[in-house]
Amino acid sequence: MPRATDLTSDKQIGLLSGVDFWHTRPLPVHDLPPATLSDGPLGIRLQRESADHLGVGNSHPATCFPSAVTLASSWDLDLAREVAVALGAEASQLGVDVVLGPGLNIKRNPLGGRNFEYFSEDPFISGRFAAAVVDGLQSVGVGACLKHYAVNNQEYYRFVVDAVVDERTLREIYLSGFEYAVKRGKPWTVMASYNSVDGELASQNHRLLTQILRDEWGFDGVVMSDWGAVYERDVGITAGMDLEMPGGHSLSDNDIQDALASGQLTDRQVETSAQRVLDLLARVQGNEVGSVEPDHDELCRRAAAAGAVLLRNDDTLPLDRRASIALIGGLAEVPRFQGAGSSLVNPTRVTTVRDAFADAGVEVTYAEGYDPATSTSSAAQLDEAARIAASADVAVVMVGLPPAYESEGFDRDTLSLPAAHDELVSAVAQANPRTVVVLSNGAPVTMPWRDEVAAIVEGYLGGQASGAAVVDVLLGDAEPGGRLAETFPERLEDVASTPWFPGRPRQVEYREGLFVGYRHHVSGGPAPAFPFGHGLGYTTFDWSDPQLSSPSIRRGQVLTVSITVTNTGTRAGSEVVQIYRRDLTGVVLRPERELAGFAKVHLEVGGSRRVDVEVPARSFEFWDVRTDEWRCPTGRFELVAARSSADPGLTLSLQVDGDATDSADPPSGPALAASDVDFAARLGRSIPAPRPTRPFDRDSTFAEIATTPAGRAFRAICWRATIAGTELSDADRPMVERNFAELPLRAAARFGDGKLSWRTIDLVLRLCNLGRR
């Protein structure tokens, strides 16, 4: 393997951007093939040579594993690792060197379009799952890519929005999952996100990419850009952003050469980034393309059941196989099992719920109930559904969110299901009180019919075998092993971030601070429909004899909570012991409870086990904005062993000997910094003014310039040259259209295969600005 110093400057520069959409540049003289990168996160989306360059359509068949939301709901880190090992095996088999995942952004608001691709609203659980996935992938020689770093919690104007977040919230909520995954998982790559953080693009953010990621956390891999996230290449390299993706245009090389010539960049900086790319190539060397096609359908099925959450059950589930079952809802035949956008996998096979009932030898009567393509229903469809429900012992209704409602590229407008789905559930529940609802969606929805139905299974997006998994769960061949890793609010207004989500096109303010998700609901906020951590099973458990490994703890130590869990029911099952930390010291403003540890245990009937849950010292610490470090309050704390964030649980009290005794927080004001004064106080500076959207500049989006005649014409030309001729699936279309509308011209240049020069862009912008007068 050559060293960067063995290479000419041109060759070094060449390493700092891809050769095309999915590959780094090869170095034939040194016999170095390119590294192949592929989405991700939970299924390989390797595009065929003939595929479009939008990066969406036509990929090799690969297993579509359960989405991150489903995997995290299993609360089973061993399972996550097992899935990642299988994913890595498929990557190798397809010649993929780096999988673009896992994604671990915090689900700040349930409307986030990409929430299905992320693990949780909680950083503790997000970091643990991300580390497990990184570990699984890399254990089989395939690189992981933690994404999207950082504070990328919405799709709305994702290329140009600036996330304004106070330092403590940044550290404790938005960075701590990444911190854990970097330190524990040691990923080979990290992806810098599209958005800005506190005024600087994440892809040009020296503080995030060098000071925090490398200097503080010890990251030693490659930082690559999200696709098209680069603007000023020299600033990016200075910040520590090594690899621009996608490549294949000359902008990157030219910009770097110009910056070297003008002294904006030094040879040493280029060499450092090139060396990191070479180190990555060395890591992926020797990966052999496999010849045996792995079959992971069974693993998918198991994982989907393990992540399915039984939200409600009045003993109707599991179903009696001899009962007459009415199966209702088009999603039973045309399933929704994965999210839309860049994570879309071309599955090796798909099992629908209808097929799976047949495979299980269980006869059902079926009615479509609504058109799965349009999510609309006719009176005749509703009548038929009610009729077959009335004459069956039990009705199973499949409803959920189609891709037009939930996708990468845009946020949802509402928490509601399609109206036809809600109407169907109510009509069926009226006809038969023994109605079981199965949901296929990637994020929380409201359920106005919640109290009218007998049972609700949140099946999430369970991957290609989700139909089989749902039937396993309904029939009791598998237990629904999941617990929510996010809150299901009663109403959108009950979510702390809602007034400030998704903000304005150029700025989003994180005024809810630490009070994200359950942290708000447990701190005097409104009770949710289903709390974080909630999930039922088919058996019962008894918890007894909780103990702490020590009555007090000092910084740097790890504490263990032990508790005896006994399966007192009539079926094997699993339980998730969740440990929440309560800080009674009053040293800093804190949510009432925060997740500090968890463990999942499987027990046969009558089985009993002592479960140990480790609580790291970090769980007691807070980020002190005055000293810029983690510090720990001294005083009384409680640890609560509970079944959900809303469960009173079993409480253990302890003394923590930290290094902060009196009020260490600068005046933090109320939990939610609704007023400008409070938010400014929390930021420690005045609230920045959002960047103006007029006059137009390189940050202006196609939608923005299209308000002028020149901009409209230019948008039409660009659309025709890039997207117009591409056949888009229904799943891809909404995202591609929205992405195009919200694409800034600077990013269009990056995607333009070199055909769009800065001169052209600047000329168009001048015309657009003239047109305004």
Q: What angle do CA 17, 18, 23 make, to 5 degrees?
A: 155
Does residue 323 contact residue 394 with C-beta atoms inside 8 Å?
Answer: yes
Least CB distance to ligand BGC at residue 40 (A):
6
Residues 6+ apart with CB under 8 A from 107: 115, 118, 120, 121, 153, 443, 486, 517
> What is the secondary structure of 177-222 as a DSSP string?
HHHHIIIII--SEEEE-SSEETTEEGGG-HIIIIIIIIIIT---SE
Active site residue 122: no
Least CB distance to ligand BGC at residue 231 (A):
15
Least CB distance to ligand BGC at residue 93 (A):
20
Alpha-carbon distance 765 to 108, whole Å?
35
Does residue 102 contact residue 70 with C-beta atoms inside 8 Å?
Answer: no
- The token duo for 131 is 């580390």
Least CB distance to ligand BGC at residue 618 (A):
28
Q: Give the up-direction half-sphere exposure of residue 509: CA atoms within 13 A in the CB hemisphere.
A: 19
Alpha-carbon distance 334 to 346, whole Å?
15
DSSP, res 29: G
Residue whose CB is less far from ligand BGC, 158 or 520: 158
- The token duo for 479 is 């237990």
Closest CA to 71 of 143, 13, 145, 126: 126
DSSP, res 28: G
Alpha-carbon distance 735 to 740, whole Å?
8
Least CB distance to ligand BGC at residue 247 (A):
13
Alpha-carbon distance 77 to 133, whole Å?
9
Burial class, 269, CB count within 10 angstroms (exposed 0-12 / middle 13-18 / buried 19+): middle
Least CB distance to ligand BGC at residue 634 (A):
42
Helices (H), 291-418: 297-307, 353-359, 379-390
* Phi/psi at 720 (5° precision): -65, -40
Residue whose CB is less far from ligand BGC, 147 or 738: 147
Least CB distance to ligand BGC at residue 190 (A):
12
Reduced to 3 states (helix: H, G, I; strand: E, B; else coil), residue 579 is strand
Alpha-carbon distance 490 to 504, whole Å?
25
Chain residues that interact with ligand BGC, rule: CB under 6 A: 39-40, 55, 100, 147, 226-227, 342
Residues 6+ apart with CB under 8 A from 452: 425, 426, 429, 430, 433, 435
Does residue 690 contact residue 507 with C-beta atoms inside 8 Å?
Answer: yes
For residue 41, say if its preceding peptide bond is cis, omega within 30 degrees of 0: yes
Least CB distance to ligand BGC at residue 112 (A):
13
Q: Which single residue brings its beta carbon nearest to ligand BGC?
A: 342
Reduced to 3 states (helix: H, G, I; strand: E, B; else coil), residue 47 is strand
Helices (H), 516-639: 518-521
Count CB neighbours of 610 within 10 A: 11
Taking CA atoms, 301 is separated from 64, 93, 330, 468, in Å, by 11, 21, 21, 6
Least CB distance to ligand BGC at residue 137 (A):
14
DSSP, res 451: G
Residue whose CB is less far from ligand BGC, 137 or 563: 137
Residue whose CB is less far from ligand BGC, 32 or 222: 222
Reduced to 3 states (helix: H, G, I; strand: E, B; else coil), residue 253 is helix
Does residue 534 contact residue 483 with C-beta atoms inside 8 Å?
Answer: yes
- The token duo for 363 is 């006869």
Alpha-carbon distance 498 to 148, whole Å?
22
Residue whose CB is less far from ligand BGC, 112 or 533: 112
Residue whose CB is less far from ligand BGC, 175 or 191: 191
* Phi/psi at 199 (5° precision): 90, -5
Least CB distance to ligand BGC at residue 740 (A):
12
Least CB distance to ligand BGC at residue 427 (A):
39
Does residue 490 contact residue 526 with C-beta atoms inside 8 Å?
Answer: yes
DSSP, res 44: -
Residue whose CB is less far from ligand BGC, 67 or 342: 342
Least CB distance to ligand BGC at residue 161 (A):
14
Closest CA to 690 of 162, 213, 152, 260: 162
Closest CA to 515 of 524, 506, 505: 524
Residue whose CB is less far from ligand BGC, 145 or 328: 145
Residue whose CB is less far from ligand BGC, 45 or 302: 45
Residue whose CB is less far from ligand BGC, 138 or 523: 138
- From the candidates 76, 226, 255, 583, give the one annotated as an active-site residue: 226
Residue whose CB is less far from ligand BGC, 40 or 463: 40
Least CB distance to ligand BGC at residue 721 (A):
19
Residue whose CB is less far from ligand BGC, 147 or 631: 147
* Phi/psi at 26 (5° precision): -80, 160
> What is the secondary structure of 134-165 as a DSSP string?
HHHHHHTT-EEEEEEETT----TTTTT-EEE-
Residue whose CB is less far from ligand BGC, 118 or 696: 118
DSSP, res 174: I
Amino acid at 372: P
Catalytic residue numbers read 226
